[in-house]
Amino acid sequence: MADTLPLTRTPASPEAAEAIRAAVRAATQMGDSRLARPEDARALLALLSDPAVHAPIYTLPRPLTQETVAMFIDTHLAEREAGIGLLFVREGEDGRVMGYSDVQVWPQWAAGELGGALHPSLHGKGTGGRGAAASFAWMFTALKLDLLCETAALTNVPTQRLLDGLGFRRMGEVTSVRPDGSTRASLVWEMTRAEWAARHGFD
C-alpha cells in the first residue's frame, strides 16, 4: 500500500472510523475465504511461489520463504487487531490454498484496498472477476467503507481490464514501495460506495 493512497481523502468522523476498525476486528470470513492463520504459512507459500501468482503483486514479502510468509500472516493478524487490515485464504477440497485476499483499510478516510490472487488453475474461468466483485461489495457493506482505491502494475493487463470493466475510475499513477524497499510504478483506480451502488447495487 503506497503512502500516497488513497488519492481522494475525505475525512471520516471519529465515530465512523471507529466503526470501521470494529468491523475489521470482527471479520472472520469473506465469501468462501477465511482468515489466514499462522499454520497456513506452508500452504500459502506453495501458492505464492508460482511466478504467475506473485510476479504482479508488490505487497508480498521478498524473498518468499516459509519464514517471510509466516511474518506476512502475523503482520495481518496484528493489523486486524488494530482495525486496519485482513488476510483471507481460500482452501480447495484437498486442503491446498487456492487463493488469498489482502484487505488494507484506512479508517480515517473510510477507504480500503483489495489485493490478492488465485491459483493458476483457476485463471481464465471468470472466477477472479466474480470473486473480486463480491469482495468489493463485501468491503463496502461489511466494513462500512465509502471508497475503494485499487492499484495495478503497468504490465498487469488482466487486473486493468477487471477494474475498468467494473467501472472503477482511473486516477493516474503512483510509485508503490515493496516490502524490500524497491519501487514499482502503479496505475490507480477509485470507486465510491455511491458509484458502486448505482452500477452494481448491493444484494
CATH code of 14-148, in short, is 3.40.630.30
Can you give the residue ranges of every domain in the chain? Answer: 14-148
pLDDT at 1 over 50: no
pTM of the shown model? 0.93
Identify the residue with better confidence: 139 or 58. 139
Q: What is the pLDDT of residues 121-148, one digit of tens each?
A: 766 666 668 889 999 999 999 999 999 9
What is the number of H-type helices and E-type strands within the chain? 7, 8
- CB count, 10 Å around CB of 171? 17
Show Cβ contacts of residue 130 under 8 Å, excluding neighbours closer than 6 positions.
none
